[in-house]
Amino acid sequence: MTARSRKTFEELVTLPDLAIPIAEAALLLACEEYPQLSLGPYLDRLDDMAVDIDGRLRGYRSPLDTIGAINDVLFVEYGFRGNSTDYYDPRNSFLNDVLDRRTGIPITLSAVYMEVASRIGFRIEGVGIPGHFIVKHVAGADETFLDPFNSGAVLTREQCLELVRRTAPGANDAERWLRRVSHRQMVARMLNNLKVIYVNGGAIDKALVMLELLVLTDPAEPGLYKERGMLRLQLRQFGPAGRDLDRYLKIRPDAPDQEEIGDCLQDIRRIQAMMN
């Protein structure tokens, strides 16, 4: 990502939540992997899909009519599908790849669903179930839950609650997981998914980049500075690592791992002294 792209990303994720454009933010984070990526053609593609959906709707549009049209265009005409065979392929988390390959994971397919729906004036919100991601249409007190990873299947509320109980056994207040996820939280979740994929794959340098974007997205979260500091330590970036860990302790002076992080800081200072 160029300095200009990263600055634009920071400007977007610090907007009031509903003003954060999910597609643009997701494409900008993809610029870390594809520095020459042009956002325009992909935004145009979302526009085109919305036009196709709108063209199928005439006169009165019930919510189920609109959902049916969205599902027909996305999952039948364009062939979007959940990538269950290679779920942890990083390309499933980059919106440009999802639009090119027409396959992705729950959150990126949900992002596509939300973006095309917003373009036709149809209210769709993200729902961050543990280990999964779905969307819902809200009309007054009525909520219709949909699963873009499974071709936009309509889910009952009880099916959603059962999914929560299955993916997060013992979770208190399963209903809270069915609340709207903010746009900022969606972007952060995309970044966190990539961070985990890169850490598990040993690509610590790429995981560090995702953490840097996470810090821009949620600068008040102290745990991000600790994580970033520990990754920088693995990459032998001792100065930046020390600054991150020191900041973590300043924000969280009562941190349960205060002693451990303090010892780590002392080790960093000893290493730096030997290097001078």
138-191 pLDDT tens trace: 998 899 999 999 999 999 999 999 999 888 877 778 899 999 999 999 999 999
Indicate if the alpha-carbon torsion angle 234, 240, 242, 247 is positive or negative. negative
- Tokens for 112, please give them: 């596509």
Contact 14, 37 (CB under 8 A): no
- Tokens for 216, please give them: 């821009």
Q: Report residue 19's pLDDT band, with 50, 70 and 90 as the boundaries.
A: very high
Q: Which of the 8 DSSP states describes residue 38?
A: -
If phi over 0 gives left and psi between -120 and 50 gives alpha, with beta otherwise, what is residue 154? beta
Half-sphere exposure of 57 (CA within 13 A, CB side): 23
- pLDDT computed for residue 59 by the predictor: 72
List residues bridging with 136 in a β-sheet: 125, 145
Half-sphere exposure of 252 (CA within 13 A, CB side): 17
Question: What is the tens place of the pLDDT at every residue in 234-250?
Answer: 999 999 999 999 999 99
Question: What is the tens place of the pLDDT at every residue in 99-153?
Answer: 999 999 999 999 999 999 999 999 999 999 999 999 999 998 899 999 999 999 9
